Amino acid sequence: MNPKKKSRVFIIDTSAILSGKPINLDNAIMITTSSVSDELKPGGRDYQALQFLMEKGLAINSPSKGSIDKIKTISNETGDLDRLSEADMSVLALALDISADDDKEAVILTDDYSIQNVAHILNIKFESISQRGITKRFIWSRRCLGCGKNFKENLKTCPICGSATKNIVSGRANIGKRGRDDK
C-alpha cells in the first residue's frame, strides 16, 4: 500500500538495560522512558549500562497520559496489571504513542513476558534481548482461594464467597509471527 519505509524506533525497557548484553542497533532510533531511567540508581553498574546507551544515542522520553490510561485498562483485562511496574507501563505507553505516527514503527526491546503479552495484544512489535521471545502468550485469570471459582475479570476478592483471589494462567494462545521480528 504505502511504499514508504517506516523508520523503526526501539523502545528499551529495564530488563533490556539490565541484561548487560550489547545492544547494537546500527544507528537505529533508541528511546527509553524517564520512569525506566529513574529505576536505575546513579553510581551503580546498571546506571553505567544506561549511561553507555545514552552515549550511543539513547533518548529519554515520557509517554502521554492517554496512552498510560489505555495500557492500564488493557493490562487489567489481560491480568498483567499486577505484574507491570510503572516503568513497564511507561514503555508500553510510549510504544503506543510512537505507533500512532504513520512514519514510525515501534519495536519494544524487552525480556519481560508481561510487557510482551500486552504488546502482542496491542499489535506492537517486540524483540527479546535474550533472543528467546515467547511464541505463546499466557491467558491470565483470577482464582478464588476460597471456593476455587475462576474469573476473567481482575477481581481482588471473590464476589461469591468474599475470599482473596490470585492470578493463575488459565491457558496459552499462539502468537505466531505477529509481534515477532520477521525480517
CB of 145 to Zn ion, least distance (A): 8
CB of 155 to Zn ion, least distance (A): 10
Euclidean distance between CA atoms 171 and 63, whole angstroms: 31
Residues 115 to 154 in contact with Zn ion, rule: CB under 5 A: 144, 146-147
- How far, in whole angstroms, is CA 35 from its chain's centroid? 13
Strand partners, 87: none
CB of 68 to Zn ion, least distance (A): 32
Q: Is 137 helix (H, G, I), strand (E, B) or coil?
A: strand
Give the nearer residue to Zn ion in terms of CB position, either 133 or 146.
146
CB of 163 to Zn ion, least distance (A): 5
Euclidean distance between CA atoms 31 and 92, whole angstroms: 12
Euclidean distance between CA atoms 90 and 71, whole angstroms: 9
Give the nearer residue to Zn ion in terms of CB position, either 20 or 159.
159
- How far, in whole angstroms, is CA 116 from its chain's centroid? 5
Interacting stretch for Zn ion, rule CB under 5 A, among 8-16, 46-54, 123-131, 161-169? 161-169
Number of residues that make up the chain? 183
Residues 163 to 182 in contact with Zn ion, rule: CB under 5 A: 163
Q: Is 147 helix (H, G, I), strand (E, B) or coil?
A: coil
Interacting residue with Zn ion among 161, 164, 169, 173 (CB under 5 A): 161
Give the nearer residue to Zn ion in terms of CB position, either 150 or 163.
163
Binding footprint of Zn ion on the chain (CB under 5 A): 144, 146-147, 158, 160-161, 163
